[in-house]
Structure 1
Amino acid sequence: MTKPQISFEFFPPQTLEASFRLWDTVQTLAPLDPRFVSVTYGAGGTTRELTRDAVSTLHKSSGLPVAAHLTCVEATRQETMAIAESFAAVGVTEIVALRGDPPKGQEQFAPHPEGFTNSVELISALAETGKFTIRVAAYPDTHPEAPHAQADIEWLKAKLDAGADEALTQFFFEAETFLRFRDACAKAGIDKPIVPGILPIENWGGAKRFAKRCGTQIPTWLDQAFDKAVRDDRQDLLATALCTELCSDLIDEGVDKLHFYTLNRPELTRDVCFALGITPKADLQNVA
């Protein structure tokens, strides 16, 4: 089996304890030689400053290529681009450009009166600077706000045509979901890389809640399997096996890159990578 290139997503810490967890996560996963790691914004941009701090710290201290998430939420165009320029100034030139979720208490996204109205506008502005590698989100399962699946593909094409370099998908539970989406994107004329997003399931209850918010389809068989595994106290074993199988099926279909949503809990992601034959690089053992 061909070993894929990998990348990892982290979220910024909001407490001292969470800071230690993030650092432990980086130390655990950095030796696997990811092509980049990304740091999220919270819903509604709630962790904007924390994200900037985490990105800067990781860039300086880990030696890893770091991609910063950037959204359109509750900021003017000038403020958003100033954040992007601050990343570039410290050597962070990879950005995951997103519209962003509505702030807490709001059901729908409403742009700032002087802000970017959508992700395409943000991507265009970032691309015009010529300073950034730009990644965007893609949705193999229909986005909750999309009228139909084809609308997601058309919007993805608009983002890539605006200057984005690559797409990272929302997580999904069955390989066929991604493969059908990949085929539909190719049919629509999309020829830039689409990287599947992988969620190792640390907690099935939490994963289900997250899936429902994102519009990710939950297969009945998977729900039943985890119900039984939880009763038998074998959920970690099941999660590792299922995630490894999902990744293997994708690799068998020609996928050469995987993006893992780690939730700052690295052990399951590490174990899946090991099962795929991705092992620590000797010269990166002490990178953190």
Structure 2
Amino acid sequence: MPELPEVETVRIGLASLLEGGTFRRVTTRRADLRFPFPERFAERLAGARVLRLERRAKYLIAHLSTDEALVMHLGMTGRFHIQAPGEAKPHLIGDYEYSTGAAPKHEHAVFEMQGGGRITYADPRRFGYMLLVPEAELAAHAMMRALGVEPLSAELTPAYLASRAAGRRSDLKAFLMDQRIVAGLGNIYVCEALFRAGLKPGRPASVLATPTGKPTAHATRLVAAIKAVLEAAIAAGGSTLRDYRQADGQAGAFQETFCVYGREGEPCVRPGCRGIVRRNTQAGRSSFFCPVCQR
């Protein structure tokens, strides 16, 4: 499943065509994705202008002039092809895990923009979904209300992590992947952030807080590591897991700089460390770490 940097890369690619644009016509080619399309989906979007396109956790949210929000989740294999006015053919801006080309049977929604431009949503496994939510109800919507802070926002601080981690028995990996605490973090970037912070995935989350609930040095290092690894991944256009691509069709490059993820059995990249990267399983997901310099 795409993680936060990949979703942000898609948002950047879509924004140039969507933000400030108006839907001329919307076509759905089936009744549902993971969930049914909203009632009168195409009719409600036709003529609506996109005021801004943002990302919340792993959701894309288009805020509309109709006082509704188009909420989109890519699932495992959702991706967009965009064709800007004057372009001869569309290009891909999101392809995760499975490469199926542009087979029409997988193209489930088409958004045509006034003044030209076309966006096609394809999803071979149909785990993605789209919702139309009144703006006034968006924050309280079931998909949004329990989300934690954005990891790249000013809200993610050592003090915040310490306040949520105090007394917790769960391990750091599970703590960071809890979307109610930090929104949008996934397996790859949690492994990479914990390596940068020098913390083992299996350590108890309570190491981030002192007995009085103040942030420890671990919390300070971890916040800096989370922000740094996400910013670097976004700058690199995300990570290519088989076929992820950026807005210009180029493969994301961050996977070329992974320190631990997918590197089981390889030497640790930290200067002076002689450790060998290990992999274990936590809650059904692979964790990669250096047993020597991560403590």
Instruction: Work out whether the TM-score is over 0.5.
Output: no
TM-score (norm 2): 0.28
Task: Name whichever structure is richer in strand by fraction.
Answer: 2
TM-score for the superposition, normalised by structure 1: 0.28
Q: Which has the higher contact order (CA 8 A, sep 6+)?
A: 1
